[in-house]
């Protein structure tokens, strides 16, 4: 009788340890996945803003050099556009269909000819 109670307690303890370890592993895997998703979103937003600032600065320099009257798109609109394109690029590994068509000659050029 004592050995059956001991084996029951031991098997219950092993089962509890297994369940605890499994739950802990699932939580760790889930939180790691959420961290990667958050990091990716942060990277997309950061890169989009950097690209938008670079485009805006380039347009400002062009206006200063050419002295032409030119409308400059707000940086936030540029950032939104870049974010949408980069998000699509990450998700589908392709650009927007309109961009693909517009720049297909450039996209299909060999890398060594790009300047």
Segment 73-114, tens digit of pLDDT: 899 999 999 999 999 888 888 888 888 888 777 777 776 665
pTM value > 0.85: no
93: left (phi over 0), alpha (psi -120 to 50) or beta: left
Mean pLDDT, rounded, for 13-36: 94
- Show the DSSP H helices in the chain as ranges: 2-66, 75-92, 97-102, 104-107
Q: Domain locations in the chain?
A: 2-113
Give every CB contact of residue 114 below 8 A, 6+ residues apart in sequence: 106
Per-residue pLDDT at 1: 57
Between the two ends of the chain, the Cα-to-Cα distance in Å is 84
């Amino acid at each position: 009788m004592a050995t059956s109670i001991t084996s029951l307690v031991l098997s219950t303890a092993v089962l509890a340890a297994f369940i605890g370890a499994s739950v802990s592993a699932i939580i760790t895997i889930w939180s790691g996945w959420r961290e990667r998703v958050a990091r990716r979103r942060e990277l997309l937003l950061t890169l989009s803003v950097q690209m938008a600032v670079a485009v805006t600065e380039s347009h400002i320099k062009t206006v200063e050099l050419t002295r032409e009257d030119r409308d400059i798109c707000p940086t936030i609109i540029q950032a939104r556009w870049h974010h949408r394109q980069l998000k699509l690029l990450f998700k589908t590994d392709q650009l927007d269909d309109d961009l693909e068509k517009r720049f297909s000659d450039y996209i299909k050029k060999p890398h060594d000819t790009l300047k």
